Structure 1
Amino acid sequence: MRLMISWCSCLVIFGLLRASHRASVVAYNITPSEPLFPNQTLVSSGNIFELGFFKLSGSENQYIGIRYKNLMPSKIVWVANRERPLVYKDRSAKLTIGSDGNLKLMDGQENIVWSTNVSSRSNHTSAVLLDSGNFVLQDENYAHIWESFEDPTDTLLPTMRLEVNVKTRVKKLLISWRSDSDPFPGSFSTGLTYETPPQIFTWNGSTPYRRGGQWDKSKFVGIPTMDQSYKSGYTVEQDTQQGTTYFSVKVYNIFGYLFIYSEGSVKLMYWDDRAMKWSKGWASANDTCPIYGTCGPFGVCNSLNSPICRCIYGFVPKSNEEWNSGNWTRGCVREMELNCQKNTSTLTSTNVKEDEFWQMSRMRLPDSADYVLDVEDEEGCESWCRRNCSCLAYSYVSTIGCMVWNKDLIDLREFPTAGEDLSVRVAHVKAGGSPHKAVIISLSTIAGIMFFAVFVFVLCKWKTGNLNKIRRLLDLVDTPEKSTKLTQGNAWQEQLKQDDSLELTLYSFDSILLATNKFSTTSKLGQGGFGSVYKGKLKDGKEVAVKRLSSTSAQGVEEFKNEIILISKLQHRNLVKLVGYCIEGEEKILLYEYLSNKSLDAFLFDSRKKAELDWGKRFQIIQGIARGLLYLHRDSCRRVIHRDLKVSNILLNEKMNPKISDFGLARMFEGTEVLVNTQKIVGTRGYMSPEYVMGGIFSERSDVYSFGVLLLEIVSGKKNTAMYDQGHLNLLSYAWQLWSDGKALDLTDVAMAVSSPLEVTRCIHVGLLCVQDHAPDRPNMLNVVLILSGESDLPQPRQPIFTFQAEMPNRSIPSQQESIWSVNTITNTVVEGR
């Protein structure tokens, strides 16, 4: 009896071990004799992908599919039986190979739930999962006779292709899930169109939903960020002989995919090793404009406008009532009939003018061009269109050719940047303007412009008058000899008291001594080329930063005057506020608002404190600096060029909000004066633009260059001039090398967790655009602000060649130029004389 019990116990244990073995052992292929059961998984040789049975949360259905292995949450990239699920409790289901050599998914009752349908010449087929994520059925010679890449679901993996064939009309699409918990084919699909050039489309059923525009051999012109912003390797290949067009995407590595959500949006995702999560590399726009035909025929959509729809010039809403209520889908109609369509025989008459073409820029071109002509240039394109009255619009794109539209123009969109030019045929009288309407419009426009000009003129004159008063007062301190005269100091003080419009307070030197504890070393915040900065506390308890100009500095008086004149009237949340000054004897002192966190470099370049700057704070700082510069360049009464933007001139308040400081080197201009040549080169090594260092030419784009350097420093946590040990001349060359190698995120500070790779990549992209060698290639600050907020498209940067600033201090400067350099490592400096 004991022997029998012992033997039975052994059988039970053996059975349990066998079951456990079957549950824990992974398979590397499927054969007719070795099917795959629910407790097993088929794994690729490199352990990148696995195939197996799964169920979704909240569902009792069971499916078999492919997902990434060991990446959580694991993305399911392919489902075999999405239309016919198994019952989850059916543990006898299996994936096997039948006698005909096909893969078959069988339920517990031996019913075929899903199968491949190929004619195999061999009875010795097997199935394996490749490291690319492709599940293949192969014959005895390892030739692929079926593969999952040929039968996509909602996900496009690297090396996988979508395709259309114009001859057979076969189309392979990505088809969304019905919901996040139901892989049944949903309403939305994404793929290519049959036309030439092909377009990328998303359909809702058979109705167009989103459109990416025509392929121009590098990108889809309706989604300029898709290729240029993140170098994701989107490609379209055409086999003209077979009539097949293929679309594929390559990400930085195999751990990435493009897929369509159940609600119709498309996203590119990649695995972020640092954050250990899936991150978004690109996504279809989430505003109203991308919805196909939002503004109807001949309507233009611009998501930055309000309302977002407008009619093309020469067109009016088809229904004013609907248009005004926000229903734009019926679009616009021509306000005046084309002359060429009235009576073609009268076109030779001298009293009939030819139609004109109205050009629109930065456009997503209309859907479905009727012709693509092979002409040499845009003039040939226009000439052809002029000769053919049926041509309603044309666009010449050098990499595509001359596209012509003969039907209603649908799904037009205007971008802030990028896009293509589109020329639309309009009646000559409309192109020139209706005589009566033109007079009314012209008079109204002129009156408006004159009113605005007078307003701006009066405002600027008022401010100029105040500033001139300050200049006259500051002229009293041009020389130490003048400043020693007490009567002149009294005259200064009396004149200031009489000018109630000035918001600056004149402080006595005694009050400054009291506030700074007689400029004690314990109150000292920093030392610069033109003096020292101290923390002070006024009688009313207000804390201030006190900049005391050194009496031995030859250049200091001019910069001191400039700073008072310039920023006494500037008011912006991202500019340091000047609250007062003191001129007494030889003392020249400025008082600023005190910012508790001091300067950005105190955090950014401190190995212990830089961890306090997470990405959220850094991005907040970047945006704040950009808004402050935009105010200086465009929104203040006079345009201001800072000329010494650097990390130590960015101060931080208690909430880590940035404020631009040190306007001693800034220049102010009236009207449209934006380009200046100077013999006095001032600024900081590593931050100055090429045209400024080499030719003394500075403009708004010089500040943009400095901003680009500053931005890259904030992202990387490295100084621009401290990259020698890594084999690069400076940070710019290092950033460009990583960008060109597709490793942009490697630039990020190791002390910072990357919470938003999309924002980081966009910032690096903006930084490289800002440091382009040629000033016109750099964006202005308005475009920078729009780009940082995700509201603008980005061109591709070129390699910044100008990288020798680090060597400049050791080079001789021509004698006619006076060079002033400031030191980046000093917290509150303005400039430091050589």
Structure 2
Amino acid sequence: MPASANFSGGALLPELTHRTHILGLKLYVIVLFFLLILLTTLLIFFICITKRRTPLKHSSGTIPLVSKDIIQVKTHRITVHDINNPKSEEEKEKVVSANIGWGRWYSLKELEEATRGFQEGNVIGEGGYGIVYKGILHDGSVVAVKNLLNNNKGQAEKEFKGEVEAIGKVRHKHLVGLVGYCAEGAQRMLVYEYIDNGTLEQWLHGDVGSVSPLTWDIRMKVAVGIAKGLAYLHEGLEPKVVHRDVKSSNILLDKKWNAKVSDFGLAKLLGSEKSYVTTRVMGTFGYVSPEYASTGMLNEGSDVYSFGILLMELITGRSPIDYSRPPAEMNLVDWFKGMVASRCGDELVDPLIEIKPSPRSLKRALLVCLRCIDLDVIKRPKMGQIVHMLEADDFPFRSEHRTRETDHDSSRTTVSIKVPYPTGHVELSSWR
């Protein structure tokens, strides 16, 4: 018989029926047992792989437009109620650590130590919303701590909620960054990145000497930065964010004169193509748009108007309302329009600017101002368009509404552009 016959099924069968030393079990029982274990293991492995490949369900949302100025921060949907009502301090820390966008939660003790007990010498800002302190955390990082005042029926809670909803989820080069917050008992505090060069208001209206460090070029850089920040709020987010309090004291500057829009306590979230009607107008006198002040109708056009006032402030170095000036000059808008109507645009430039702007650059800035404060909100440009207007070298000369006439005494071409004015239209003329 061939040797291979020893391995036939008939020869193996007696071997499988032999009893083994393992509990006296027959060999085929042990083989079946191990096969069962192997099949069970393979089944469990297959189930695990299938679950891992199943896509996780999550709430969908519009992804903001991405640019080099923006850093997206992934967040979980956590409400202010979750923060205010944790089961324990550990639970609060866990909730916050899951929400990277809102930063981390700081204890009241941590912020007291950082600001040296909220010492008066650490105050860097103050207003109706509360007091802002400079603070140094345990790791040596410098922050700005806003202690929201709770004087009137939960206003601090509203501002707290408004700020974290408005800027808690994104980082933008021209929006001040939210580092974290504190919510202990009735205390509501917001912790921001520290911007080390003060506010635009301080540089425009403070005692800076006979020559302003804010040159014309720096002022235009600041204007473009503000416009980019507001453009992202209006056009890069859904729901869009209307700031409602655009003014020079809410613009922070770093050492390189980069502008950062701050203070989102009054910010309002609006759905696409929607307006908001309120019976309580919020904002700062002198910056509030006429239609919002009279009707309570709020949309991004309100911020555009405020930006126009802010640009006037940058050009002239004057406050929107200044009662120390002659009656005809107290209201910046009225005086500004009157000077343009009288063709005295050169006299609008802040006398503290040592090197005056070129006629082309000045007329571009003047025209942007006038378009932003148009009484017809529909005719005001969007913030994205304003960025283009301020950055484009050929603006305002590329216009559908321009007229040309050749000056026969020279090779210059006169370009006249009509801009709105309460008594009709004013023509701005320039040469190239």
Q: Which residue of 1 aligns with 2:181?
A: 581
What is the CA–CA distance in structure 1 between the aligned matches of 2:187 and 2:327, rounded to whole Å?
46
Q: CA deviation at 1:726?
A: 5.1
Structure 2 CA distance for partners of 1:785 and 1:543, relative to 1, 3 Å: same
Q: Which residue of 1 aligns with 2:374?
A: 772
Aligned partner of 1:799 among 397, 407, 421: 421
8 Å contact from structure 2 (residues 172, 229) kept in 1: yes
Q: Which residue of 2 aligns with 1:657?
A: 258
What is the CA–CA distance in structure 2 between the aligned matches of 1:755 and 1:688, rounded to whole Å?
28
Aligned partner of 2:269 among 668, 672, 678: 668
**Match for 2:257: what amino acid?**
M
**Match for 1:509: what amino acid?**
L
Q: Which residue of 2 aligns with 1:473?
A: 82
Q: Indicate yes or no: 2:93 matched with 1:493.
A: yes
Secondary structure of the residue aligned to 1:624 is helix
Q: CA deviation at 1:757?
A: 2.9
Aligned partner of 1:623 among 190, 204, 224: 224
Q: CA deviation at 1:556?
A: 1.7
What is the CA–CA distance in structure 2 between the aligned matches of 1:600 and 1:640, rounded to whole Å?
22
What is the CA–CA distance in structure 1 between the aligned matches of 2:230 and 2:250, rounded to whole Å?
13
What is the CA–CA distance in structure 1 between the aligned matches of 2:369 and 2:63, rounded to whole Å?
37
Q: Indicate yes or no: 2:142 matched with 1:543.
A: yes
**Match for 2:341: what amino acid?**
S
Aligned partner of 1:605 among 205, 209, 215: 205
Q: Which residue of 2 aligns with 1:695?
A: 295
Task: Provide, for residues 116-158 of structure 1, a one-character-per-residue CA deviation record: whole Å limited to 9, x for no partner.
Answer: xxxxxxxxxxxxxxxxxxxxxxxxxxxxxxxxxxxxxxxxxxx
Structure 2 CA distance for partners of 1:702 and 1:488, relative to 1, 3 Å: farther
Structure 2 CA distance for partners of 1:729 and 1:521, relative to 1, 3 Å: closer
8 Å contact from structure 1 (residues 596, 653) kept in 2: yes
**Residues 128-207 of structure 1 mapped to structure 2, 5 A cutoff:** none
Q: CA deviation at 1:571?
A: 1.5
Q: CA deviation at 1:707?
A: 0.2
What is the CA–CA distance in structure 2 between the aligned matches of 1:692 and 1:735, rounded to whole Å?
21
Q: Which structure has the larger Rg over C-alpha atoms? A: 1
Structure 2 CA distance for partners of 1:585 and 1:695, relative to 1, 3 Å: same
Structure 2 CA distance for partners of 1:769 and 1:500, relative to 1, 3 Å: closer
Q: CA deviation at 1:680?
A: 2.1
Q: Which residue of 2 aligns with 1:570?
A: 170
What is the CA–CA distance in structure 2 between the aligned matches of 1:709 and 1:673, rounded to whole Å?
24
Structure 2 CA distance for partners of 1:618 and 1:530, relative to 1, 3 Å: same
Task: Provide, for residues 176-225 of structure 1, a one-character-per-residue CA deviation record: whole Å limited to 9, x for no partner.
Answer: xxxxxxxxxxxxxxxxxxxxxxxxxxxxxxxxxxxxxxxxxxxxxxxxxx
Structure 2 CA distance for partners of 1:654 and 1:798, relative to 1, 3 Å: same
What is the CA–CA distance in structure 2 between the aligned matches of 1:666 and 1:645, rounded to whole Å?
10
Task: Provide, for residues 413-471 of structure 1, a one-character-per-residue CA deviation record: whole Å limited to 9, x for no partner.
Answer: xxxxxxxxxxxxxxxxxxxxxxxxxxxxxxxxxxxxxxxxxxxx823499999574133
More strand by share: 1
Q: CA deviation at 1:506?
A: 0.9
Secondary structure of the residue aligned to 2:183 is strand
Q: CA deviation at 1:545?
A: 0.6
Aligned partner of 1:639 among 225, 240, 247: 240
**Match for 1:574: what amino acid?**
H
Identity of aligned residues (%): 34
Q: Which residue of 1 aligns with 2:331?
A: 730
Task: Provide, for residues 734-761 of structure 1, a one-character-per-residue CA deviation record: whole Å limited to 9, x for no partner.
Answer: 1111111111121000010214332122
Q: Which residue of 2 aligns with 1:42?
A: none
8 Å contact from structure 1 (residues 471, 565) kept in 2: no
Task: Provide, for residues 704-754 of structure 1, a one-character-per-residue CA deviation record: whole Å limited to 9, x for no partner.
Answer: 000000000010000010165152351111111111111112100001021
What is the CA–CA distance in structure 1 between the aligned matches of 2:347 and 2:89, rounded to whole Å?
57
Secondary structure of the residue aligned to 2:192 is strand
**Residues 206-355 of structure 1 mapped to structure 2, 5 A cutoff:** none
What is the CA–CA distance in structure 1 between the aligned matches of 2:173 and 2:127, rounded to whole Å?
25
Task: Provide, for residues 300-359 of structure 1, a one-character-per-residue CA deviation record: whole Å limited to 9, x for no partner.
Answer: xxxxxxxxxxxxxxxxxxxxxxxxxxxxxxxxxxxxxxxxxxxxxxxxxxxxxxxxxxxx
Q: Which residue of 1 aligns with 2:130?
A: 531
**Match for 2:307: what amino acid?**
F
Task: Provide, for residues 779-798 of structure 1, a one-character-per-residue CA deviation record: whole Å limited to 9, x for no partner.
Answer: 11122111111255456321
Q: CA deviation at 1:607?
A: 3.7
What is the CA–CA distance in structure 2 between the aligned matches of 1:726 and 1:765, rounded to whole Å?
25
Structure 1: stretches of 5+ with no match in the other structure? 1-456, 477-485, 802-834
Q: Which residue of 1 aligns with 2:343?
A: 742
What is the CA–CA distance in structure 1 between the aligned matches of 2:80 and 2:321, rounded to whole Å?
38
Secondary structure of the residue aligned to 2:60 is helix
**Match for 1:728: what amino acid?**
E
Structure 2: stretches of 5+ with no match in the other structure? 1-58, 65-71, 400-416, 424-432
Q: CA deviation at 1:608?
A: 2.3
8 Å contact from structure 2 (residues 78, 99) kept in 1: no
What is the CA–CA distance in structure 2 between the aligned matches of 1:461 and 1:709, rounded to whole Å?
31
Secondary structure of the residue aligned to 2:282 is strand
8 Å contact from structure 2 (residues 73, 169) kept in 1: no
What is the CA–CA distance in structure 2 between the aligned matches of 1:549 and 1:720, rounded to whole Å?
26
What is the CA–CA distance in structure 2 between the aligned matches of 1:600 and 1:647, rounded to whole Å?
5
Secondary structure of the residue aligned to 1:707 is helix
Aligned partner of 1:784 among 370, 386, 397: 386
Q: Which residue of 1 aligns with 2:192?
A: 592
Larger RCO (CA within 8 A; separation ≥ 6): 2
Q: Which residue of 2 aligns with 1:713?
A: 313
What is the CA–CA distance in structure 2 between the aligned matches of 1:673 and 1:489, rounded to whole Å?
41
8 Å contact from structure 1 (residues 489, 584) kept in 2: no
Using structure 1 for the length normalisation, give the TM-score. Answer: 0.38
**Match for 1:782: what amino acid?**
G
Q: Indicate yes or no: 2:160 matched with 1:560.
A: yes
Structure 2 CA distance for partners of 1:489 and 1:689, relative to 1, 3 Å: farther
What is the CA–CA distance in structure 2 between the aligned matches of 1:519 and 1:738, rounded to whole Å?
47
Q: Indicate yes or no: 2:103 matched with 1:504.
A: yes
Using structure 2 for the length normalisation, give the TM-score. Answer: 0.72
More helix by share: 2
8 Å contact from structure 1 (residues 530, 553) kept in 2: no
Structure 2 CA distance for partners of 1:500 and 1:576, relative to 1, 3 Å: closer
Q: CA deviation at 1:559?
A: 1.0
Q: Which residue of 1 aligns with 2:410?
A: none
8 Å contact from structure 1 (residues 736, 800) kept in 2: no
**Match for 1:796: what amino acid?**
K
What is the CA–CA distance in structure 1 between the aligned matches of 2:184 and 2:163, rounded to whole Å?
17
Q: CA deviation at 1:565?
A: 1.8
Secondary structure of the residue aligned to 1:571 is strand
**Residues 15-34 of structure 1 mapped to structure 2, 5 A cutoff:** none
Structure 2 CA distance for partners of 1:541 and 1:797, relative to 1, 3 Å: same
What is the CA–CA distance in structure 2 between the aligned matches of 1:733 and 1:692, rounded to whole Å?
18
Q: CA deviation at 1:597?
A: 0.9
**Match for 1:687: what amino acid?**
Y
What is the CA–CA distance in structure 2 between the aligned matches of 1:781 and 1:796, rounded to whole Å?
21
**Residues 93-104 of structure 1 mapped to structure 2, 5 A cutoff:** none
Q: CA deviation at 1:594?
A: 0.6
Task: Provide, for residues 30-57 of structure 1, a one-character-per-residue CA deviation record: whole Å limited to 9, x for no partner.
Answer: xxxxxxxxxxxxxxxxxxxxxxxxxxxx
Structure 2 CA distance for partners of 1:464 and 1:576, relative to 1, 3 Å: closer
